[in-house]
Amino acid sequence: MIAAFISALLLSLLCGLMYNAWKYEVERIEAEEGGWHSRIPGTFSAEDRETIESFANVDKVVIHKQGDRGTEEAADIYFRSKKAVFSDTPHIAGQLGIPQERIVYNYELLAMYLIRDSGDTAPRLVLPLFVLITLAASFSLIIIIHNAFAVSMNAKIRQLGILSSIGAAPRQIRTCLLQEAAALCTLPVLAGNMLGIAGCAGLMRLTNVWLGSVVSGRHKTTFGYHPLVLMLTILATVITIGISAWLPARRLSRITPLEAIRGTGEWQLVRRRKPGMLSRLFGIEGELAGNALKAQKKALRTASLSFLFSFLAFALMQCFVCLSQISTRETYFERYQNVWDIMTTVKDTDADRFAETAAVRELDGVESAIVYQKAFAKRLLREEELSEEMQSFGGLAGAPADYVVQTDGGWLVNAPIVIMDDQSFLAYCEQIGIAPRLDGAVLFNQIRDVTNPDFRHPVFMPYLKGRTADERGDTAGESLADSGEDAVSVLQKSAGEETAYARIGVEIPVLAYTREVPALREEYATIDYYELVHFMPISLWKKIKGQIGGTEEDSYLCVRAKDGVTQEKLNAVQEEIARLLEKNYVIEQENRIRKYETNNRQIQGMTALFSGFCILLAIIGIGNVFSNTLGFVRQRQREFARYMSIGMTPRELRKMFRIEAMVLACRPVLLSLPVVAAAVGLMLRASYMEAGVFLAEAPFVPVSLFVLAILASVAAAYGLAWRKIRRIELAVVLKRIV
Amino acid sequence: MKILKCEGVKKVYGSGSNQVTALDGIDLSVDKGEFVAILGASGSGKSTLLHILGSVDKPTDGRVIIDGTALSTLNQTQAAIFRRRKVGLVYQFYNLIPTLTARKNIVMPLALDQKKPNQAYFDQIADVLGIADKLDALPHQLSGGEQQRVAIARSLIYRPALLLADEPTGNLDQKNAKVVVDMLKLSNRNLEQTILLITHDEKVAMEAERVITLEDGHIVSDERRR
């Protein structure tokens, strides 16, 4: 009954938390990104809408304005069957005459339904890992129910023998056992499920209280429990109990009355065991301990499995968290440590309309402030423009068609534009060693070696033939325009309904080719390796924006605080900026130190949650060990009496007992270690992280503590049992052996 | 040479009105190489006597000396080591370790001392007892007679001063009972093993060269047959 109750409670709690975590993520993404599945930018007529709606899998279409002050439209498509998103959307775009590369997918949302596409290169491992851990934990709980029944049924074997001897048919015995199981478990299962749901709701509330105060702008958790989850949980519990009761009932109903009545519960081995490691290491005591464990295999299955699963889940989770922490720190916090302190997103505002840059720079504690906006254009590249290194790699011929389109005139590549405020652009010119000018763009002349997939240690090479100031040996700080080199970049409009790209674009003077980027919290060419990034000043953008357009809706203000800034000072600067801007703009802010701490806190929260589950699993195992060791005192006394009668000393018995406890606790750990090592190896390989980097921060301490806690608990269980067993009265016990 | 000497051995269970005297002043001595049967009905105290002689239990009063060792001076560990080296115990229900093979069961007393058996002696015992082809079987894979022969082999492996057998034929059919008694006689004769056999079966007792009859905790007769 207790096992059924605890298992139903944990199963319900686990499934409820899993469901709510998933629900929270879906709601958060829908609130931040929208609930659409795919988005097609363009201009849409009523007929176009009908065309989209005519697709069987399309649930609804929402057409809305977007882009520069809402001059462009986008159709947000919601699918009935989300699996059809990646197959149907290109067809829809094709029928509307819109290029496929303009389709935007809500990858984050779709990933929550485990729908992935090769175009989405982000790992998105959290949900699959969570599902895996939940399944492992659920499986373990199911096994626990099963074993609890097997043990309780076996305990009734003598009673069943008596029943059988007075004429109960096997079928009647089966029915009796199943009815007993149903009667015993109905209430515990229902109560366990209800309490699990209540526990889940309580945890949700706690999460809101705990995280609500530390994570600003956090989407609030709302508790929910889908009837399907409840039904699945109850069904899983009932089926498990049914099978768990049926299997031993069937076995017990088949044994003869004599076997049942005489059944002494003596441990037997079905087959001869070859002396193993324990025998070699610890002699006869090791062999006896190994045999005893082998004979108790069924009784200790719950413990073994729960130790195995809990350690495996705990170690894997710790390694995963450690790896992802290192990765986030290296690729985000450390990488951008000297780039930003406060990021402000100025909603629905073009950078050229933002007028508070100077005021922000004058704020106390501000070292620098860069205002910038991103825009998207296309650039036609001729084969001869490519660098020798690029050409030796086959140029753009191998580039995916999603990003690079071959035309008669050359290769059409994406050309993201970073529009910087003039003062920051002039400073950038100085940074890269050219004379500061505002009449041209600086091209980021670097492309990643696509044949090397190691994103942590990428190899770069020049994209175009244009040389950097250093490569030209320019010490006078001349720009390309000054030195008279052919330096023009022709940008074409990216957005719009065009299908032919070979139209005339806007000529922009190239001031320099560089492999140095301005100090912005931006990443370039991470998904589309072939994009050619242009940095240009706002004053130049003002002249060409009418022909190119394609800006993002928001602008950004990247502020660096003075060196050695404290959290308090940074918070004060952030508040000052907010006070200055909130009068005229809608803004969102991020603070590097706070974000780092929030990130750590979230990881700690997640780790605590998963650790809680692992500890729960381990507790189930420990409970099984205690119930087994305290329950087998009489049986072990008989066994030990045998050993003592042929000359085994109490010290040797204790040694055997200790070996048994040690093996019980350590075996799951030893079995798990290769799996953990292999999984960590795979994770390291996938994240291109050196083993040394991981090992320097590997979670040896928490994992060791977890193992020690299991060891200590098992030792305590065996210690208690030993105290009872050692009070053996040899002559009395030997008389009982029949 | 006296291998066993009991002087005024008394065993009382319980206290007050529940007090039961299982043995009441037993005086007994056995010479090396003797085959002695202790005959008695159920409740006569014969098993209690065997447990005291095997250092499994302690007398309430009196002295027991086996091969020069006074059993009352032994603590729990010394008693266990004494059982391992000086006496071989054979029980009615064999008392084999169910998780070990016959071979491992036989060598267990030696293994506890981290000793290996003398292979020639081991083979001799296995051959004499007719279990050479059963050595790799687990106890539950053997018949009752075979299990008892394995138990006898185990009790002999350390060449003990005294072999104590408690109703060794009590759980066997007539044919197997005869085989087991023959084996005991054979080991007594061939290995010069001192044997003290406890039984309620007169026919089995008559196979011994000396029969001691026990009644209500007293020796009522001590008869040498040969």
A343 near A389, Cβ under 8 Å?
A: no
Q: Is the pTM of the predicted complex or chain greater than 0.90?
A: no
Sort strands B162-166 and B195-199 into parallel, antiparallel or unpaired.
parallel
> Is residue B26 pLDDT above 90, yes or no?
yes
Q: Report the domain count for chain B.
A: 1
Beta bridge partners of B13: B20
> Is residue A612 pLDDT above 80, yes or no?
no
- What per-residue confidence (pLDDT) applies to A230? 82
- A55-59, A340-344, A467-471: least confidently modelled range: A467-471
Measured CA to CA, the distance from residue B40 to residue B58 in angstroms comes to 21
Q: At A480, is the pLDDT very low, low, confident or very high (cuts 50, 70, 90)?
A: low
| pLDDT tens column, A179-196 | 887 888 888 888 988 898
A–B CB contacts, 8 A cutoff, strictly below: 91
| pLDDT tens column, A135-170 | 766 666 666 666 666 666 666 666 776 776 677 777
Measured CA to CA, the distance from residue A95 to residue B159 in angstroms comes to 98
SS3 B94: coil
The reply to whether ipTM tops 0.90 is no
B213 near B39, Cβ under 8 Å?
A: yes
* A691-699 long-range Cβ contacts below 8 angstroms, 24+ apart: A693/A326, A694/A319, A694/A322, A694/A323, A694/A326, A697/A322, A697/A325, A697/A326, A698/A319, A698/A322, A699/A315, A699/A318, A699/A319, A699/A321, A699/A322
| pLDDT tens column, B110-168 | 998 989 999 998 998 898 888 999 999 999 899 888 998 899 899 989 888 899 998 88
A19 near A221, Cβ under 8 Å?
A: no
Q: Domain map of chain A by residue range?
A: 1-35+137-263, 282-334+593-738, 369-556
- What per-residue confidence (pLDDT) applies to A360? 92
Enumerate residues 6+ apart whose C-beta is below 8 A from A495.
Answer: A41, A67, A72, A102, A376, A549, A550
Would residue B10 count as lying in a domain? no
> Is residue A499 pLDDT above 50, yes or no?
no
> Is residue B36 pLDDT above 90, yes or no?
yes
| pLDDT tens column, B104-122 | 999 999 998 989 999 998 9
SS3 B216: coil
> Is residue A375 pLDDT above 70, yes or no?
yes
A9 near A189, Cβ under 8 Å?
A: no
Q: What is the mean pLDDT of residues B81-104?
A: 88
- What per-residue confidence (pLDDT) applies to A483? 58
Would residue B4 count as lying in a domain? no
CB contact under 8 A, A291 and B99: yes
Which pair of tokens denotes residue A610? Answer: 């998963």
| pLDDT tens column, A616-658 | 778 777 777 876 777 677 778 888 888 888 888 989 999 999 9
* DSSP strands (E only) in chain B: 2-13, 20-31, 35-40, 61-66, 69-70, 87-90, 162-166, 195-199, 210-215, 218-224
Q: At A266, is the pLDDT very low, low, confident or very high (cuts 50, 70, 90)?
A: low
Would residue B76 count as lying in a domain? no
Residue in chain A closest to B96 (alpha carbons) equals A642
Instruction: Give the domain extent around B99.
Output: 33-58+88-224
DSSP designation for A331: I
- What per-residue confidence (pLDDT) applies to A548? 79
Is A660 at the interface with chain B, CB within 8 A? Answer: no
CATH number at residue B168: 3.40.50.300
Say what percent of chain A tops pLDDT 70: 82
> Is residue A500 pLDDT above 50, yes or no?
no
Give the residue carrying structure tokens 């083979």: B123
Nearest CA-CA partner of A227 in A6, A15, A2: A15
| pLDDT tens column, A512-537 | 999 899 988 888 887 788 999 999 99
3-class DSSP string for A239-283: HHHHHHHHHHHHHHHHCCHHHHHHCCCCCCCCCCCCCCHHHHHHH
Mean residue pLDDT of chain A comes to 81
Q: What is the mean pLDDT of residues A525-552?
A: 87
- What per-residue confidence (pLDDT) applies to A497? 42
- What per-residue confidence (pLDDT) applies to B211? 94
Say what percent of chain A tops pLDDT 90: 18
Is A274 at the interface with chain B, CB within 8 A? Answer: no
> Is residue B73 pLDDT above 60, yes or no?
yes
Helix-, strand-, coil-residue percentages of chain A, each rounded to 5: 55, 15, 30
Radius of gyration of chain A (CA): 34
Give the residue carrying structure tokens 């007028």: A355
CA angle B101, B105, B108 (to 5 degrees): 130
Is B31 at the interface with chain A, CB within 8 A? Answer: no
Q: What is the mean pLDDT of residues A584-596?
A: 85
Which pair of tokens denotes residue A569? Answer: 């000072």
Is B60 at the interface with chain A, CB within 8 A? Answer: no
Q: At A501, is the pLDDT very low, low, confident or very high (cuts 50, 70, 90)?
A: very low
Which pair of tokens denotes residue B85? Answer: 């080296």
Residues from chain A contacting residue B86 (CB–CB below 8 Å): none
Is A278 at the interface with chain B, CB within 8 A? Answer: no
> Is residue A599 pLDDT above 80, yes or no?
no
> Is residue A280 pLDDT above 70, yes or no?
yes
Would residue B16 count as lying in a domain? no
Give the residue carrying structure tokens 């070996």: A659
- What per-residue confidence (pLDDT) applies to A306? 79
- What per-residue confidence (pLDDT) applies to A172? 78
Q: Which of A646, A730, A731 sits opposite B154 (nearest CB)?
A: A646
Say what percent of chain B tops pLDDT 70: 100
* b/e per residue A589-601 (b: at least 16 CB within 10 A): bbbbbbbbebbee
Residues from chain B contacting residue A647 (CB–CB below 8 Å): 80-85, 109, 112
SS3 A404: coil
B25 exposure class (CB count in 10 Å sphere: 0-12, 13-18, 19+): middle
Residues from chain A contacting residue B112 (CB–CB below 8 Å): 284, 646-649, 652
| pLDDT tens column, B157-206 | 988 889 999 888 887 788 888 888 888 888 888 878 899 999 988 888 99
- What per-residue confidence (pLDDT) applies to A502? 45
